[in-house]
Structure 1
Amino acid sequence: MNDQAQMLRDLVQKRELARSAGRKTRIITVTSGKGGVGKSNFTLNFALALQAKGLKVLVFDADIGLANIDVLMGVTPKYNLYHLLKKEKTIWEIIHTGYNGLEFIGGGSGFNDLLDLKEEELNYFVEQVSQLNGHCDVILFDTGAGLSKETLKFILAAEETIVVTTPEPTSITDAYAIIKMVNNLQSGINFRLIINRVTEPKEGKQTADKITLVAKKFLQMDIPTMGFVSDDNHISKAVKRQIPFTVAYPHSPASRNLQEIADQYVQGRPVENAGAASGVKGFLSKMMRLMK
C-alpha cells in the first residue's frame, strides 16, 4: 500500500515537472510607502484573481515581523521560511495551501535571518528556492511597507514592482518617496501603481496622476497605473471573517475591480525590467549580489 502511494506521488511529481519545463516564472514585488494601505490584502486577492484567469500563483510573505497573508486566510502555517533557513525543512515542505488552492509561504522572522546566513546556509537557501523556477507562472513577494534594506533588495531584483497607495496625501507622498529613493539607487525599475480605497474612478485617476506626472517630470519615469480598488465595506467584513474578499464577496465592487485588474494584466505584456534578471534563478542571482 505504501509502495503504491509512493508510486502515485512520484507520478504526480513527474507530471508537474513536465508541465513546469516550459513555464517561465515571473517575479513581482508588492510594496507601499507606508503601512495601512491594504497592500497585503491586495496581494492576496490579486493572486486569487490571477489564478482564476488560469495562472498558477505562489504568494511569498516577505513582510518582516508583520507577516499576515496567513491571517487574512485564517490559516496557521506549520512551517515557514525560518525552518527553511535553518535547513530543517525543504522548500516544498514550507509551501501551504489556502483558498482556491492558492499556494503561499509564510515569512515570520525568516527574512531577518536571511541577511546573516553563513555561506553553507545561503547555498542551501538558493538551491531550495531555485526549485520554484517553472513551478508557477507568478511569484508575488508581499514586502514590508517603507524602504527597509530587505524590501529594497526585493525591488531591485524583481522583474517588476507594484506600489499600492491610497488617495490620502500622506500615502501619495510616501509612495512617490519610495519610487524616488529606489530610482536614485538604480534607474530602470519597472514600477506599476495600484490606487486602493477610492470612492469613485475620478478620485483614483486624480491620485494616480499626482504620482505619474511628478515622476515623469522630475524622475523621467513612466509609471503605468494597473487600476483602482473601491473603498468597499465588504473588504473589512471579509478581513473579520478571515476570508479573502474575492472569495467571500465575489460580486462586490472591490472584487470586480480585482477581476478587471487581473484581466488587463493577463492580456497585456508586462515590460521586461532590463535591470533585473529573469525568472527565479535570475532573481536569486541578483539578490545574492545585492547581499554582498
Structure 2
Amino acid sequence: MSDQAQSLRNLLQGLPERDKQTKVITVTSGKGGVGKSNFTLNFALALQTKGYQVLIFDADIGMANIDVLMGVSSKYNLYHLLKREKSIHEIIHTGPYGLQFIAGGSGFNDLLSLSQEEIDYFASQVELLNGTVDYIIFDTGAGLSKETLKFIVAAQETIVVTTPEPTSITDAYAIIKMVHSMEYEVDYRLIINRVTDWKEGQHTSDKIRLVAKKFMDLDIPTLGYVLDDPNVSKSVKRQIPFSIAYPGSSASKNIQEIADRFLLGEKGARRVNPDSSQSGGMKGFLNKMKSWIT
C-alpha cells in the first residue's frame, strides 16, 4: 500500500522541464460546520500574499462554496470541463489577490461515472496545471466519502481541521483512523479552529495526537490554532474573506502565523525530485479512483 500511496502523491509531477513543482494539499474534516472551507480560503490567500501562486480546487461535492465565500461569480466549473465545453484553463477563475480557483458545481458527481476516454481527457487537462502554480489545495467534503478518500491519499499533505467540540474531535480522529486502517501512508497536519485561547487549542490537539500515537503510531504535528472570532461570521455574511475584511482580527493574525509556520516547514522539508519516467501519474491516479468506486 505504501508504494501505491507514494505513486498517488506524485499525481501532479512528471514535467521536469518546468522549474516550478506543484505541491498538492488536501484540506478535510471529520464533520461539517468546523470552518474548513473558510480556513482553506484564507490560508490560500495568506500564501498568495506571501508571493506564492495558489489554486483552490473546490472538491466539496454538493456543498461547494469557495466562490460564495469570496463573493465571486463562477460561470464555469468542473462540469464544463468534463463535457469538453471548456478547457481546464477556461474554468479557472480569479479571486482576491490573484488567487485562482476551480468551482466544483455538479462536476464531481460526474467523476463517478467517467469512461476510460473521459478519464484520459480529464487527466491530460489537469496535468497541464503542473508547474503553473506552487500549490493546489483541494477543499474536500466533510467526512470520509469515497471522493474525499481519493484526495486524502493522493495529496502530498493533508490538513485536518477540527474544533474543540467533543464530536468534532471524535470525527477528526475517526477519519484519520479509517484511512490508516486501509494501510495508506498520509502526511497529516492539524488545525484547531474556534478555540477560546491557546491553552484550549493545545489541549485539543494533544488529545488527537496522543491517541493517534498510542493506537496507530502516528506522529501528527499541529500546524496551528485559530481563535474564535466574531469577525469570521461577519465576513461570511459580507462574502469577503475575513483576512481581507478584517486584517487586524485575531483570526486573520492566526492565519498569517499558520502560513508562516507552514512555509518554514516547507523550507526545512527534504525535496524529492520526481522521476519523470514513472508510469501512471495522473492517469494512474484517476484509474485507481474509478476502480475504487466500482
With structure 1 as the length reference, what TM-score do the two structures score? 0.89
Tell me the CA shift for residue 115 of structure 1: 1.6
Picking from 142, 145, 160, the partner of 2:139 is 142
Show structure 1 runs of 4+ deviating over 3 A: 270-274, 281-285
Structure-2 separation of matches of 1:168 and 1:116: 37
Cα pair 2:224 2:258 within 8 Å, conserved: yes
Structure-2 separation of matches of 1:39 and 1:118: 32
- The structure-2 alpha-carbon separation of the partners of 1:277 and 1:145, relative to structure 1 and needing over 3 Å to count, comes to farther
Structure-1 separation of matches of 2:61 and 2:117: 23
Match of 1:16 in 2: none
Tell me the CA shift for residue 287 of structure 1: 3.7
Match of 1:36 in 2: 33
What amino acid does structure 2 have at the position aligned with 1:191?
Answer: Y
Tell me the CA shift for residue 273 of structure 1: 11
- The structure-2 alpha-carbon separation of the partners of 1:284 and 1:143, relative to structure 1 and needing over 3 Å to count, comes to farther
Q: Would you say 1:68 and 2:65 are equivalent positions? A: yes
Deviations 1:149-181 (A, max 9, x none): 000011111111100000000000000000000
Q: Would you say 1:177 and 2:174 are equivalent positions? A: yes
Q: Would you say 1:156 and 2:144 are equivalent positions? A: no
Q: Would you say 1:227 and 2:245 are equivalent positions? A: no
With structure 2 as the length reference, what TM-score do the two structures score? 0.88
Q: How do residues 69-148 of structure 1 correspond to structure 2 at under 5 angstroms?
A: 69-148=66-145
Match of 2:53 in 1: 56
Structure 1 unpaired stretches of 5+: 1-19
Deviations 1:187-235 (A, max 9, x none): 3211110000001000000000000000000010000000000100010
Match of 2:284 in 1: 285
1:268 alignment partner, SS class: helix
Picking from 185, 190, 195, the partner of 2:187 is 190
What amino acid does structure 2 have at the position aligned with 1:91?
Answer: I
Provide the aligned C-alpha RMSD in A: 2.0
Deviations 1:81-106 (A, max 9, x none): 00001111000000001111110000
Structure-2 separation of matches of 1:232 and 1:268: 26
Tell me the CA shift for residue 289 of structure 1: 2.2
What fraction of aligned residue pairs are identical, expressed as a percent?
Answer: 67
- What is the number of residues matched between the two proteins? 270
Match of 2:7 in 1: none
User: Larger RCO: Structure 1 or Structure 2 (Cα < 8 Å, ≥ 6 residues apart)?
Assistant: 2
Match of 1:254 in 2: 251
Cα pair 2:61 2:104 within 8 Å, conserved: yes
